[in-house]
Each structure stands twice: as C-alpha cells, then as structure tokens.
Structure 1
Amino acid sequence: MASEKRQVHFIFFPAMSHGHMIPMIDMARLFASRGVKATVVTTPANVTRISKYIHRADVNILTFKYASEEAGLPEGCEHLDDIPPHLWHNLPMASQKMQEPIAQILRDHRPDCLVADMFYTWATDVAGRYNIPRLVFHGTSFFSLCLVTSISSYQLSKTVSSDSEHFGIPNLPDVIKMTRTELPDFTTNEESDTGKLFKAALESELKSYGVVVNSFYELEPAYVEHLRKEHGRKAWHIGPLSLCIKDVEEKSNRGKVATIDEHECLKWLNSKEHNSVIYISFGSSVYFSPSQLREIASALEACGHQFIWVVRSQKSSEEEPEGLLPEGFEKRTEGKGLIIRGWAPQVSILEHQAIGAFMNHSGWNSVLESITAGVPMVTWPMVADNFVIEKLVTEILKIGVSVGVKRLDGIKGDSIKSEAIEKALNKIMAGEEAEEMRKRGKTLAELSKRAVEEGSSYVQLDAFIEEIALYRQR
C-alpha cells in the first residue's frame, strides 16, 4: 500500500455543523486507521466539540482564528448551534473569511490532499494554488447528488404550472417524480442566497479532483455509476463512516455529550422485546413548534407502541421541552416511553435489538445509521434534500414509509396531524409489509458491514489513497 512507502497526508476541513462535522471526523479517523496522516482543521471553539471523540485516534488537529464578527456574527459563534437562525444568512460571508487562514495552513503543511465540505466554494481554487487536489464532501448520498444535479440542470421546476403538479426527473436509472414544494429552494431560486451558494458549490465541484461519498456501492449501485458516467464525476464510496467506530464509549461521544446516561438508556431497552420500540429523533438542526410536538405525543399515546423520543423545541421558543408536551403525557406513558431532552447516543440506540423503527427527518446521517442497524424508517422531510432522500428510502430501497409531509417547511417542520403520524407508526411496526421492510433492512445492514470490513468501500478507500499518493509524485 502507498502508506508503506511514505505517509500520505490528508487535511479534512468540515463545515461547522454536527451533520457535516461528525461524518468528516469519522472519515479522518478511518483514514488514520489505514496509515494516512490525518489532520482536521477547525476553529478553537470547535476543538472542545471533537477532541474527546478523537483522543484515542491518531488524528491531528490544526486551528485557525475565525473572524465571526467581521462576518456579522456574534463573537464566539463558531458552530451552527451557536448562531441564531436569523443570522444564518451571514454564513456564506463567514465562509469567505476563512480563505486566507486555510491558504496559510496549506502553504505551511503542504498536504497531499484537501477534503473540504461543499459549503467552502473557494476551496478548490485555494488548494489549486499549491497543486493540492481538493475533494468535495457533500454529506449526502449518490442518489441525492444525481437527482439534485438533474433537477438543477434541466430547471425542472419551471416545467410545471403549479406547486402540487408532479414532474418526472429525466435521465435517471429509475422513474422518480416530485413536486415543486418538495424541492430544496437552491434548485428553484437561483437568485436566493442558497441558490447562489449552490451554483458556486457546483462550479467549484466541477473544477475539483472529485467527490468522496459516505455510502457503499451495494446500497445504490445504479447511482454510483450514474454520477460517474452521466455526470462525469470522479467519485469514491468509502462508507458507512459510522461503522469505523467500534468502541461503545466512542460511539456515544460523536457530536455533543449525551443528555442521558447511555447505560441507563440501554438498560431500559434491555427490558423490551425485539423490534418493539420506536426511536424518534429529527437531527441536530430541526426544531418543532409546541403544537407539532403535541401532535406527535398524541400519536404515540394512540398507537400504543413503546418509544424513545428525543424532544427538542424551537430555538426561539422561551418554553422548555418539559412544558411543551400534553399535561400528564409522561406519567401516562411511564414505562412505555423514554423522553430524552437534548442529545442522544443515537448509534448505540439504533443498534439495540429492541428498536423496531426509526422516525426521522430523512437526513442522510440518520438514514445511513438506520440502514447500518437494519432498522426501517418513518420519513418526515424538513429541509434541504430530505425529500430526495425520502424517495430513496421509500421508493428505491423500500425500507420506509412516509408520514405524509407535502412541502419543505424549514427547520420547524411541516404541520402533520396525530392521525397521520399514528397511521405511519402502525404501518412500520406491524403487518406483512413491515416484515418485508425489516427483512430488506437486515440484508442492507449485513451488506454495509461487509463493505467496510473487506468489500467495496474497503477496496475503494485503498485505491483512493493510492491514487492520491501517485498524483503528488507526478
């Protein structure tokens, strides 16, 4: 292997949000385990978020000063969690302010490769100054990359006369239909802030060395080939990245510190029958309104299934989660339900044999963690490409059911009544269709583990490292 000749050096530059940072830290750990010198670049405030997670791994950390105030952000706001939603429009400016510090790091350390998040639209040009190949990390699937690229290229949202009219997405391995309300706004409004960012990201990607994807070949083979052949991308599948973590304690340290003792949580699950518990969590950036939380609570009471629910309220809400649930809900569901307020040890929960389904927002990290655990899903799209991922889960892989959301509604989620939620939960937990989804899920879980241990992703990672080592020798 190339690393035996000389140590190849990769620098990883994640976006400052849990959904993008966690998988890229996983990636750095994976590369380090294969003999690569792996360095994560971040800001001083973010070191505390990741140091506990990588202290046992042979991963280096480099920091740079984050000019948050110059970008219109409060001092010390170096992570999405710290930034009020009404200031999120300043994030592109904050990204631009990072160019020179990163250029200095590349000048000083001369890595063999820079793996930078897609949000850093300038990273390809900066790396190119020093003949350093830049790899793009999107944090999503091959399926999503193919669909979003096609939707944008063909400007499909302009071909229909109403928001509710379905349109087909051409030139794909499968027949996929969507509506305008299901599309992320960066594909429908090129003049919006997100539209301009997406356009710049796409241009940067086309000039980059290629794309690295947290997925595995057996999950979406047609779309791996489609992205490479039809869209002309060099792309490597090296996931699922979460499977690179074997230690139970380290799994719980991914992201924030859990707000519940993991042993207490697993002890509760140990008392439950196989496939009897629904796990409910909607990622790190989604905040429901109090009324929507109450609809979920009503559905959980009505369906009668046991559950673990990660409850989070709106950032702008002055109410604490304790006051958001129906009066007496926790007492009535005592023993049947476990409420977690804050951050949960999600991977450990999903891997427990008592978990029978996972209701989530169709974010790629959550979906892939559910797939590796063999757990079917109830999908509830919220933001970005969540509807696209829902199509993959429900129509292509057939390991989930939709709760019935009709439009992307930002971080607060769509308004879904308890009856629709109850119907979806019952459908995923019992019956012939549920059993078929569970069987397919278990098969995919086995394939995912094989991929990283000896199969497609393992081989692909070796080939990727070797290619980068040869590139720098030219």
Structure 2
Amino acid sequence: MASESSTLHIVMLPWLAFGHIIPYLELAKLLAERGNKIWFVSTPRNIQRLPKLHPHLVPNIDLIGLPLPQVENLPEDAESTLDLPYDKVRYLKIAFDELQDSMAAFLQTLSPDWVIHDFASFRLVPIMEKLSIPSVYFSIFTASINAIFFPQSAVIDGVDSPVEPKHTTSKPKWVPFETTIMPRNFEMERVFNDAYIDGGNVSDLYRLGVTVKGASAVFVRSCYELEPEWLQLAEEVVGKPTIPVGLLPTTAYDDEEDDDKKAAWLEIKEWLDKQEKGSVVYVAFGSETKPNQEEVVEIALGLELSQLPFFWVYRKQRGSADAEVTKLPEGFEERTRGRGVICTSWAPQLKILSHDSVGGFLTHSGWSSVVEAVKFEKKLILLPFLADQGIIARLLVEKEMGYAIARDENDGSFSRDSVAESLRVVMVEEQGKVFAENVKKMKAKLFDKERQDNYVNKLLDYLHAPTMYQPSGSNKN
C-alpha cells in the first residue's frame, strides 16, 4: 500500500488565490497524514491567513512564507487575489513570476522528491528540469474544465496563440459525447482578458501550457463517481497520466478560531437557531467573485421578492485598491431586517452550511463552495460569473444537482424576478425536491472515506513509482 511506503518529500506551490490555496492545503493534509513530509509554500500574509493545522499534522507540514517581490502597480499589502480588483490581478502574476527566483534557491537547498504546483508557476519549469526535480500539475478544477481547455493551441504548442471568446463557447470537436457543459459567451468575455491576453506578461493559457509540458502527470480535483467520461477524455487530450484526487472537502480544526471569531459565530448561530429547519438561503460568491453594482441590486431585490429568510455574505470591495465599491439598494436592509442578514465581515462558511436551518445555497458555482454544499446536503441555486464557474454550473444542472438562474445568453444579465423565481423553485416548490434528493445521493458516493482514501493511495502509488502507472478507468475505482 502507498501509505506504508517510504516517506516522500514534497514541495507544494499553489497560485496566490485562496480558491487554489485551500484545496492544495487539503491535499497536503491527506499526504501528511500518511507520513509524507510537505513544504507548503506561499507568501507570508497568505500563510498567516491559513486555517490552523491540527497538532498531529504540524510535524509533517512546514508552512513556508516567501516574500512577494514588489512590482509596479501592485498594492503593497496585496498577496492574493482576495486583496485585488480584477484589473490588478495581472500585476500579482508578474510578482509571482519574480517569486520563482527565491523558489529556485529554496528547491536547490531542499532537493525534494516532487514539486506539486499550479498553472501560474511556468517559470519554475526550467528550474526544476535543471535541478532534475520531477513535478506534477495539480488542477483545482473539474475534469470537464481540463478536458475542454487543455487542447487549446497555447497548451499543446506552448505558444501564445491569439484566441477569440467565440472559439470557446461551442462543443469542441475532441469531445466525442453529447453534453451541455460548455461556457457561455458572457462568461468567456469576462475572463477573456485574464486567461487569453492579460495574465501578467503572458496569457494564462500559455502559463498552463508550459506547466503541463514540464509535468510528469496531472492531478485533478475530481472523481470517477462524478465525471467518469470527462476524466477519461482529459487523460486522452493531455497525453499524460491524469489522476483524480477526490473532491478534497474543506476541513477545519475546531480550536483554530480566536475569541473574536468565536463570538461572531455565536451571534450568527443565535439568528440561525431561530429560523425554521431548511428555510434559510445562504448567499455567498467566494473570495474571487464580486458581482457588479447592477448585479448586486438584482440579487438583493430578488432576495426581497422571494420572501425567504437569507444570510448574505456581502463583499462590497475587493481589497483597498478596488475603486468600485458596490452598494445595496436604498431601504433594502430596513425592509428585510429580521428576515435577512447582511454580513460584511468574516463568516464561517462551513459552520453556516452545516446548520440545520440552512436549506439552500445561492452560489457562484466555485468548485470549493459546491463541494462544501454537497457535503452538507444543501440545495444549489447557481449564478456563475466566469468560465470555470459556468462549466461547473452546467455539470450540476446536467446531473440535476442544481438549478441555474435564467440569464441573457449574450451579456449575462439577470433580473430580480429570475432570482426570486429560482429561489422559490428550489426552496419551496415541489420541483425543488429532486435537487435535494440528487445531492443526497451524490453525497453518499462523493464523500465516502474509503473511496477518498483510495484516490490518495493511488496518487501516492504514482508518486512512488511513476513508471508503473496504468490508467484506472471509470470502472476500476
């Protein structure tokens, strides 16, 4: 068994976004539990913001904070996408590129068995090759996302080829089966400049291409129980071992919170305790996504029209450099007081989702949020904003695990009426029961401990003996 093999020394380097950092940390925990030594690398501020590790993991996980080089146009306190508006993220990527110099010195000193890293650290690839350190690209996205975007010429050829959004919104010729899982035009338009043009000094697809070319294998945050055909296709189009790691649900150490956070949770819990079981809609759009002013208004008025109790984690600004500070509609908080809560500070998402009074989750369809919702059997109301979120939303709709809010196909606009109607369909009407039933069934498959352990053991089997790897296939796990 992999868990009984000799200790591996592994460096892990996620991209500077908490939607990436947290899944990497969850994988680090699973690897460390099996006796492997992990060096988890980010920047000092990001390391400070990580959830506290359980004491039994501390000996096997070293948290390494490498100072982020300062670059022009990047605010001094910005060390993750959490701290920045969209138009400043490209400068974070430029700073991350310069961080690779200190990573090179770190790797030369440490000489690990493996580096598990993210799409953005393409400058690390020639360094690892020079040091003869093998690497794995760990994709925090679903297999469907990987299968759809990997075959782009920037990935295959390693060149920064021009691409237009319209090229990415129809079923690719390499997908041999019928599916609705494709991004919409408005989702690609919103992510287009970052992914294809303005990912720092080079596009994100070019970064991904160099990273994948240099990697021995690709790890994917998915499982055969959810995406069997997409996992098989992803391996075919990548042309390298493509190994699912399971869904890596976020875990929390009970004693990690300080007194202020404990007090905040008690206040939240007091309100939730007063609500009827399964009646509350939890509303949150993750650390990356921030609806614009028009969208905030329609979401708010849709919540009001729905007449449902809600708890909304509302981010009006992405860091101090964000000039677009959104506002709630005038009088909204007064009109919904008692029925709804607007939370503009820290909120313990795992604890809120685990509460019995929460029945549904209005979400941007970020993969971590979806995984957490399914773990706690919450019905999903889907409002994706970017391409990866749209693909996840379509996967959930195809499997009848979630209900998508109606939107204009071209510009992505939506109305307060469509928000209210979708909320009531899922939370109140007979039609909504199917989503609850399917989420419950899928939870039993996706969060079975033995299956998750099996994924990690197979992953470790590969890391111990990569030349012995054979594709698992959907019927062998």
- TM-score normalised to the size of structure 1? 0.85
- Name the residue aligned to 2:76: 75
CA 304–21 in structure 1, closer or farther in 2 if over 3 Å, else same: same
> Are 2:344 and 1:341 equivalent residues in the alignment?
yes
- Name the residue aligned to 1:458: 453
CA distance in 1: counterparts of 2:325 and 2:75, whole angstroms = 24
Q: Percent identity?
A: 26
For the residue of structure 1 that corresponds to 2:38, the secondary structure is: strand
Which one of 425, 429, 432 corresponds to residue 431 of structure 1?
429
- Name the residue aligned to 1:48: 48
CA 157–55 in structure 1, closer or farther in 2 if over 3 Å, else same: same
Which stretch of the first structure deviates more once superposed, 231-240 or 301-310? 231-240
CA 285–5 in structure 1, closer or farther in 2 if over 3 Å, else same: closer
**Counterpart residue identity of residue 283, structure 1:** G
- Name the residue aligned to 2:216: 209
> Are the aligned partners of 1:183 and 1:385 in contact in 2 as well (CA < 8 Å)?
no
**Counterpart residue identity of residue 168, structure 1:** K
CA distance in 1: counterparts of 2:269 and 2:336, whole angstroms = 18
Which stretch of the first structure deviates more once superposed, 149-158 or 226-235? 149-158
CA 300–209 in structure 1, closer or farther in 2 if over 3 Å, else same: same
Q: Which has the higher contact order (CA 8 A, sep 6+)?
A: 2
- The alpha carbon displacement at 1:106 in A equals 1.2
CA 306–319 in structure 1, closer or farther in 2 if over 3 Å, else same: same
> Are the aligned partners of 1:124 and 1:204 in contact in 2 as well (CA < 8 Å)?
yes
CA 191–433 in structure 1, closer or farther in 2 if over 3 Å, else same: closer
CA distance in 2: counterparts of 1:355 and 1:3, whole angstroms = 38
For the residue of structure 1 that corresponds to 2:7, the secondary structure is: coil
For the residue of structure 2 that corresponds to 1:168, the secondary structure is: coil
Pairing of 1:335-414 with structure 2 (within 5 A): 335-395=338-398, 397-406=399-408
CA distance in 2: counterparts of 1:291 and 1:186, whole angstroms = 19
- Name the residue aligned to 2:473: none
CA distance in 1: counterparts of 2:360 and 2:378, whole angstroms = 5
**Counterpart residue identity of residue 454, structure 1:** E
CA 189–465 in structure 1, closer or farther in 2 if over 3 Å, else same: closer
Pairing of 1:291-330 with structure 2 (within 5 A): 291-315=294-318, 324-330=327-333
- Name the residue aligned to 1:38: 38
- Name the residue aligned to 1:444: 442
- The alpha carbon displacement at 1:60 in A equals 0.8
> Are the aligned partners of 1:182 and 1:406 in contact in 2 as well (CA < 8 Å)?
no
CA distance in 2: counterparts of 1:64 and 1:214, whole angstroms = 26
- The alpha carbon displacement at 1:104 in A equals 1.2
For the residue of structure 2 that corresponds to 1:377, the secondary structure is: strand
CA 404–371 in structure 1, closer or farther in 2 if over 3 Å, else same: same
- The alpha carbon displacement at 1:103 in A equals 1.3
Alignment: residue pair count: 454
> Are 2:59 and 1:63 equivalent residues in the alignment?
no
CA 333–158 in structure 1, closer or farther in 2 if over 3 Å, else same: closer
Deviations 1:390-426 (A, max 9, x none): 211112x2111221234698xxxx5432111111111
> Are 2:188 and 1:192 equivalent residues in the alignment?
no
- Name the residue aligned to 2:243: 236
- Name the residue aligned to 1:19: 19
- The alpha carbon displacement at 1:4 in A equals 4.2
- Name the residue aligned to 2:179: 175
- The alpha carbon displacement at 1:247 in A equals 4.1
Which stretch of the first structure deviates more once superposed, 305-314 or 81-90? 81-90
- The alpha carbon displacement at 1:314 in A equals 3.6
**Counterpart residue identity of residue 368, structure 1:** V
- The alpha carbon displacement at 1:21 in A equals 1.1
**Counterpart residue identity of residue 180, structure 1:** N
CA distance in 2: counterparts of 1:77 and 1:246, whole angstroms = 25
**Counterpart residue identity of residue 364, structure 2:** H
- The alpha carbon displacement at 1:311 in A equals 1.1
- The alpha carbon displacement at 1:40 in A equals 0.6
- The alpha carbon displacement at 1:85 in A equals 4.2
CA distance in 2: counterparts of 1:205 and 1:112, whole angstroms = 18
CA 216–271 in structure 1, closer or farther in 2 if over 3 Å, else same: farther
CA 158–68 in structure 1, closer or farther in 2 if over 3 Å, else same: closer
CA distance in 2: counterparts of 1:201 and 1:319, whole angstroms = 30
CA distance in 2: counterparts of 1:281 and 1:160, whole angstroms = 29
CA distance in 1: counterparts of 2:227 and 2:285, whole angstroms = 24
- The alpha carbon displacement at 1:387 in A equals 1.5
For the residue of structure 1 that corresponds to 2:232, the secondary structure is: helix
CA distance in 2: counterparts of 1:386 and 1:180, whole angstroms = 13
CA distance in 2: counterparts of 1:359 and 1:10, whole angstroms = 37
CA 368–407 in structure 1, closer or farther in 2 if over 3 Å, else same: farther
CA distance in 1: counterparts of 2:165 and 2:189, whole angstroms = 16
- Name the residue aligned to 2:101: 100
For structure 2, the 5+ residue unaligned runs are 469-477
CA distance in 1: counterparts of 2:51 and 2:381, whole angstroms = 33
> Are the aligned partners of 2:408 and 2:414 in contact in 1 as well (CA < 8 Å)?
no
- The alpha carbon displacement at 1:295 in A equals 2.3
- Name the residue aligned to 1:469: 464
**Counterpart residue identity of residue 207, structure 1:** G
- Name the residue aligned to 1:28: 28
> Are the aligned partners of 1:113 and 1:133 in contact in 2 as well (CA < 8 Å)?
yes
- TM-score normalised to the size of structure 2? 0.84
CA 217–340 in structure 1, closer or farther in 2 if over 3 Å, else same: same
CA 438–233 in structure 1, closer or farther in 2 if over 3 Å, else same: farther
CA distance in 1: counterparts of 2:17 and 2:152, whole angstroms = 26
CA distance in 2: counterparts of 1:389 and 1:188, whole angstroms = 21
CA distance in 1: counterparts of 2:322 and 2:101, whole angstroms = 37
CA distance in 2: counterparts of 1:313 and 1:331, whole angstroms = 18
> Are the aligned partners of 2:187 and 2:387 in contact in 1 as well (CA < 8 Å)?
no
> Are the aligned partners of 1:73 and 1:90 in contact in 2 as well (CA < 8 Å)?
yes
**Counterpart residue identity of residue 78, structure 1:** E
